Each structure stands twice: as structure tokens, then as C-alpha cells.
A and B are shown apart, each in its own frame.
Chain A
Amino acid sequence: MKLTKYQLIKIKVGIAGETVKFSADTDKLYERIDAMFVSLPNDDSHFGSTLELRIADQEILPEGFETKLLACNQSTSPNERFFHFDHDENIEAKGSHIEGRYTDGGFVTGITFPYQAIIYLKLKNGNENNDTQK
């Protein structure tokens, strides 16, 4: 049994201020979602950009939640850039249905459209967790 998998959800954003709805299913072979991270091709695109997320009909991020709280700058090591769910917070994977809505913040200076937003989900099996950031 593998302990960790990174599942990517890619979202194409065509124009400034666009809202893109998306859906996906988590990998059935993993028990839970341990952490997530939102990567945009330009850090400035995080200004005003939001992500609403529901997993298995459970609200994870409400409407208006800024993506910049789900990412860190380049001085943070990749494994510490993730937004971690609490230890006692069980976000079940096992094929859970994900529904989301990404809204671009409308910041255009230096931004090339279209761009691709990538949501990284860190899926885990077992109880092992060596990450330190909460």
C-alpha cells in the first residue's frame, strides 16, 4: 500500500475575472486528503483570486476564500507550502466527489491569459505524517 499520492486538478482560466467551475473524484486507493496547495503561474494572480471547495458534500472552503492562503512564496520549501488539514479533521478520499469554483481576481498587470491554475491534493494512507506546518 502506497502512503502518499499527489493528485492534480488543472483549471484553465481564459480571461481576467473569470469563474471556472470544476469537478473531480479523488483516487479510490487513498484514505484521506491530508493537505492542499494552489499553484498559479504568476504570484500576482493570487490577488483577489478565490477558491470555493466542497468534498463529499462537505464544505471545505467557503465562497470568497482567497487562494493566497492556500499557497506560499518560493522561499518556503515545497513540502511546507501546503495548507494542512487538522489531524482530527478527516477529509475522506476513497473516491470522494470534489466540486469547486475558482474565480480569477482580475489582476492583469504582467499576467498572460489563458493560464492554468493547478490544485494539488496530498492524499494519504495510514497515520504517518512527517509534516510540520499546520
Chain B
Amino acid sequence: MTPKSKEIRRFVIIPIDVTEDGQIIHLDRKLPAHLLRCKGINLSVRTCIGNTDIPHLGEVSVLLNSWQVHPFHHMVGFRRKALSKKNSFVEINEKLIPNFTINGFYRDLGKSKDEKKNFIPYSLNIYFDCLASE
């Protein structure tokens, strides 16, 4: 019997830069073949957009294994306070098929505006908490 190879944690980050009001950004990224499982997903808005919270900044949809599973579809919000009480990942626990892709989209909902209603560009990260073979 062959010994089970050691599994290690690897984070995968997909950065998204939103430059236009209502922009839709398609996700299409091939994952490294040594990733075995996606344990969880988290979202974070990197930019400070303004002085008020925006609960519905955008919408994100994530599909794994080249469109085969759809484990995540949520609104993305901006919080004026950089730190949260807790940073838990949304648990999804999906097996990853080697060389398949992450797909989906991010859709801006047009809420990132200054006082003159001009669009404020912003960036966010989608984090994938994965297990990989060493």
C-alpha cells in the first residue's frame, strides 16, 4: 500500500479590479494541478471606497471544476471599518479536478459613487482556501 502523500494548505487569490460602473468581470482561471480540495471561499474589498458601508457593492458567482459545481453565489459588501469581528471562510469543501478551471463572474452594482455621483474604481480579492499535495 502506498503511503498517503502529505496535504498542505494553499491559498489561491483571484484579484478583481473594477474600473467601470456596472462592469461584469468573467472569471476563468486554471488552477495548479496539485490542488486537491477547496475548503472555503472568502471575499474582501481591498479599497476604501468612502465613509459609509455599501452592503450591495456587487455580486459574485463562483463555479469550480470547469462549470461542474456552483458552490458560491453571494453579494459583496464594503465595510468602512477595515477589520471585522471574525474572518471565517464560507465552508464549501469541494474536491478539485486537476487542470480544470474556476469560472463565474463578478458584477458591479453601481453603488461605488462619490458625492457627485462619479464612479469610484475599486479592487477586491476572492480567496480560495485549498488543500494541495506536497
* Residues B8 and A68 in contact, CB atoms below 8 Å apart: no
Given A47-B46, A47-B47, A107-B48, check contact A64 B85 (CB 8 Å): no
* Residues B8 and A73 in contact, CB atoms below 8 Å apart: no
Give min CB distance, A91 to chain B, whole Å: 9
Chain B CB within 8 A of A127 CB: no
Give min CB distance, B120 to chain A, whole Å: 13
Question: Chain A binding site: helix, strand, loop or mixed by DSSP?
Answer: loop
A-B pairs with lowest CB-CB distance, top 3? A46-B82, A73-B83, A47-B48
| 26 A-B residue pairs with CB within 8 Å | A43-B81, A43-B83, A45-B82, A46-B82, A47-B47, A47-B48, A47-B82, A48-B48, A59-B10, A62-B10, A62-B11, A62-B13, A64-B125, A65-B11, A66-B44, A66-B125, A68-B44, A69-B42, A71-B83, A72-B86, A72-B87, A76-B85, A80-B86, A83-B87, A85-B9, A89-B8
Q: A69-B87, A83-B87 are in contact. List 19 more A-B contacts (CB 8 A).
A: A43-B82, A44-B82, A45-B82, A48-B47, A48-B48, A64-B15, A64-B125, A65-B11, A65-B127, A66-B44, A66-B46, A68-B44, A68-B83, A68-B84, A72-B86, A73-B83, A73-B84, A76-B85, A134-B88
What is the CA–CA distance of A66 and B8 in the complex, to the nearest angstrom? 20
What is the CA–CA distance of A115 and B84 in the complex, to the nearest angstrom? 22
Contacts of A71 in B (CB 8 A): 83
Give min CB distance, B92 to chain A, whole Å: 15
Give min CB distance, A100 to chain B, whole Å: 15
Chain B CB within 8 A of A105 CB: yes
What is the CA–CA distance of A72 and B79 in the complex, to the nearest angstrom? 13
Tell me how many residues of B have a C-beta within 8 Å of chain A.
24
Chain B CB within 8 A of A58 CB: yes
Contacts of B7 in A (CB 8 A): 88
Contacts of A66 in B (CB 8 A): 44, 46, 125
* Residues A68 and B86 in contact, CB atoms below 8 Å apart: no
Tell me how many residues of A have a C-beta within 8 Å of chain B.
31
Interface residues of B in 54-84 (CB under 8 A from A): 81-84
Contacts of A83 in B (CB 8 A): 87
What is the CA–CA distance of A71 and B12 in the complex, to the nearest angstrom? 19
- Chain A residue with the shortest CB-CB distance to B12: A62
What is the CA–CA distance of A75 and B42 in the complex, to the nearest angstrom? 21
Give min CB distance, B126 to chain A, whole Å: 11
Contacts of B87 in A (CB 8 A): 68-70, 72, 83
